[in-house]
Chains A and B, each alone.
Chain A
Amino acid sequence: MHDPDADDVAKAGQGDRAAAARLIGRHAPKLLTVARRMLGAQAEAEDAVQEVFLKLWTHAARWQPGKAKFETWLYRVMLNQCYDRLRRRPTAPLEAADDVADGAALPDTGLDEGKLGEEIARALEGLPERQKAAILLCHFRELGNVEAAEIMGISVEALESLLSRGRRSLRSKLEHLKGFAGDR
């Protein structure tokens, strides 16, 4: 199995700036997309991705190609960063949580594209963290179930169960926006 990142990881670990720039260019935007959707806030997502890259640099010199695919390792580190940050957050009051979950209270017409995006993002944020991670990895990274399961450290069956519950839950929260979500 050829890992397309292995060379650059080794070079970056030895101080090759160009290799580090290539790794950042290849992975930072996608990591940021997933982190942003996991955490909800842009600044916190940027902090999380910075932490991930710092971890990468410190491990790069000792990276052993062939042990695990680099990208799998990178996303696993990123998910752990997000889980840690989510767990450190103070628990939101119940009333606030209800606002997100209760779709019936939201207007079902007249939402412009920006508002629609906000509604979808809020519904996504309200999902349990593992369901959210499964959906994000499969949607934004376009990963197959096997790779996504490997990143999350679970079996493919467990991932499929998370995906199924997450999608059902998200759909029930967004059902009132069906007209928007269903139209292309």
Chain B
Amino acid sequence: MTSENSDRDFVDRALRRLPPPASSSRFEAALMAGYDAWNGEREKGAWAAFKAGLRGFSEVIWPGAPVWVPASALAVALLVGAGIGAALPAAGTVEQSGFSLEQPESFTLFASDVTPEEDL
């Protein structure tokens, strides 16, 4: 056995004698608490970012007004739009006119009813 292998075996045997450190459930609970705290901050951060975005948007469309004013205006506009949409007759019930955009089969741009002589 080479000296290097002998050193490795010696050290491996010695390290196996070390008592394993206690990884308690208390420690793992502390790690989970760390995760929960981070996750709470993350969610708060996401909500704060959403509110800031909303405020910025409301400043653009209605400067100086609190957020609820443009939000209410938008809600009213949506309601009015929905009401008008519901009150109008459906597209299928509109009376069809005789006019059609469909071209007749015989139609061609080059077909002329004038004779060449007339053209001259």
Q: Give A contacts to B, CB under 8 Å.
A: 12, 15, 17, 20-21, 24-25, 28-29, 32-33, 36-37, 42, 45-46, 49-50, 53-54, 57-58, 61, 113-114, 116-117, 120-121, 124, 135, 139-140, 163-164, 166-168, 170-171, 174, 177-178, 180-182, 184
Tell whether A20 pairs with B35 under 8 Å between CB atoms, given A29-B23, A32-B27. Answer: yes
Q: In the bound complex, do residue B28 and residue A181 qualify as a contact, i.e. CB atoms below 8 Å apart?
A: no
Which of B3-11, B54-62, B90-98, B104-112 forms contacts with chain A? B3-11
Q: How far is the CB of A54 from chain B (nearest CB, A)?
A: 6
Q: How far is the CB of B13 from chain A (nearest CB, A)?
A: 5
Tell whether A170 pairs with B14 under 8 Å between CB atoms, given A17-B36, A28-B23. Answer: yes
Chain B hits for A168, CB < 8 A: 7
Chain A hits for B19, CB < 8 A: 114, 117
Q: In the bound complex, do residue A164 and residue B4 qualify as a contact, i.e. CB atoms below 8 Å apart?
A: yes
Closest B residue to A136 using CB positions: B15
Contact with A along B10-39 (1 / 0, CB 8 A): 111111011111110001101110111011
Query: For the complex, what is the distance from the CA of A100 to the CA of B48, rounded to whole Å?
Result: 54
Tell whether A53 pairs with B31 under 8 Å between CB atoms, given A32-B23, A139-B11. Answer: yes
User: How many pairs of residues, A versus B, come closer than 8 Å at their CB atoms?
Assistant: 98
Main secondary structure of the interface of A (DSSP, over half): helix
Q: How far is the CB of B80 from chain A (nearest CB, A)?
A: 39
Tell whether A181 pairs with B14 under 8 Å between CB atoms, given A49-B31, A54-B38. Answer: yes
Q: In the bound complex, do residue B31 and residue A181 qualify as a contact, i.e. CB atoms below 8 Å apart?
A: no
Tell whether A37 pairs with B23 under 8 Å between CB atoms, given A25-B28, A57-B34, A57-B35. Answer: no
Tell whether A184 pairs with B20 under 8 Å between CB atoms, given A32-B27, A50-B34. Answer: no
Query: Which single member of A28, A42, A117, A184 contacts B18 (CB below 8 Å)?
Result: A117
Query: For the complex, what is the distance from the CA of A57 to the CA of B18, rounded to whole Å?
Result: 31
